[in-house]
Structure 1
């Protein structure tokens, strides 16, 4: 099978993460996965949700938005419609859960780290790109208040990728929009650096899928996540990589 962009079935799209993309957030990146581009920014606020006040624990949460010009057909701003779509809320919860899975909230202290993920160009995999890029911004943000000798708030790496079964019945990694729109099976995989899964979202779009197909999709997802985590480490550099999982 020849894919749209001539990649092999097990090949990621070309990817890059540009650090320090914005001036004002404590951490910010531009992540590009093929033609998908997302700005991920992390802001540290000295407050917590009401249910955490006085506990000494912090919180990590996320907001996600798609710019009107990010897609081929203009998408109306949700602020104009007066409410978020169910899709946006689902993606925000996914990003937040994924990041909190590798965070020690006690080590944050009574702070909230707000992650903003703004899609400036969409070509499939926006939610998985948001998680992968947001992690790098999160580490940057935590390094701004970390004090030597304490526990670093980020315990492990996390990344995410899409996998699926093409309309030609072949398992493929990192679907672009055209592949995703025609896929028989669509799945998103979120995985930590130690190889554990945070979330697996799989749907039989055209037909049910077998246990054997699920195992193959998870294998592809793990392969993609490991490659992206290796890249996250390269981008963060020795000092910040050394901090992740640091307990003193």
Structure 2
């Protein structure tokens, strides 16, 4: 007897289809960075650091606000097989993720508090098991929170600069099942997937992704987006508990 397609789908252990993987966070992990965080989402691990340069980005000279840019890299043994260091490659995926991170994190902060300065958020993947870009958004936000907390306590800033709590979650259709926070085994067989970036209040910043095995219906897309926003809310509640 042959097995049905549904019986060959990746099996989840310890969580249902709409429950994200366990999230753990450690702040102030890097003694040299003014803001840093080490975040685990299941087996995916991200180290995020924030640096401040007292120099405006070229396109922000003369403006009333500063700028935030993000960089993303995957360490050679973040995956099962060694990969060449990404700084040596023209990697379109990496550049796409960096732009996503920058847009997401700029939405979280009032950059008028950093006039004539540039914030650099570096997200490095230590271990990859799916969802590295969404975990990087969460880690990057935690590192920014760490930075802002230090600036407030030192008296460098007198007003809290974070205006939105921002996070992200992956969501996909695996067979006919809607699943949130896909690990690698699920992601590689999903027939559609989205990376949803949203605020704790349920406002959407970005949805990135699409169908992998042919078109999906508008109703399926809306279900994915809605589930993604709800998953972001749950992840951010856990993140805020650990901040």
Q: Please, what TM-score do these two structures have when normalized by structure 2?
A: 0.90
Residue ranges of structure 1 left out of the alignment (5+ in a row): 237-248
Tell me if the contact between 2:10 and 2:185 (Cα under 8 Å) persists in the aligned partners.
Answer: no
1:158 Cα offset (Å): 0.4
1:3 Cα offset (Å): 4.7
After TM superposition, the structure 1 = structure 2 runs for residues 187-206 of structure 1, keeping only pairs within 5 Å, are: 187-206=194-213
Q: Does 1:58 align with 2:66?
A: yes
1:148 Cα offset (Å): 8.3
Distance 2:67 2:200 in 1: 21
Q: Does 1:88 align with 2:94?
A: yes
SS at match of 1:68: coil
After TM superposition, the structure 1 = structure 2 runs for residues 1-248 of structure 1, keeping only pairs within 5 Å, are: 3-6=10-13, 7-79=15-87, 81=88, 83-146=89-152, 147=155, 150-166=158-174, 168-236=175-243
Q: 1:91 to 1:116 in 2, by over 3 A?
A: same
Count of aligned pairs between the two proteins: 233
1:240: which partner in 2? none
1:243: which partner in 2? none
Tell me if the contact between 1:3 and 1:9 (Cα under 8 Å) persists in the aligned partners.
Answer: no
Distance 1:9 1:171 in 2: 7
1:150 Cα offset (Å): 4.3
SS at match of 1:189: strand
Q: Deviations over 1:185-205 (max 9, x none)?
A: 011000012211000113100
Distance 1:149 1:161 in 2: 31
Residue ranges of structure 2 left out of the alignment (5+ in a row): 1-5
Q: Please, what TM-score do these two structures have when normalized by structure 1?
A: 0.88
Greater Cα shift, 5-14 or 127-136: 5-14
Tell me if the contact between 2:166 and 2:236 (Cα under 8 Å) persists in the aligned partners.
Answer: yes
1:14 Cα offset (Å): 1.4
SS at match of 2:17: coil
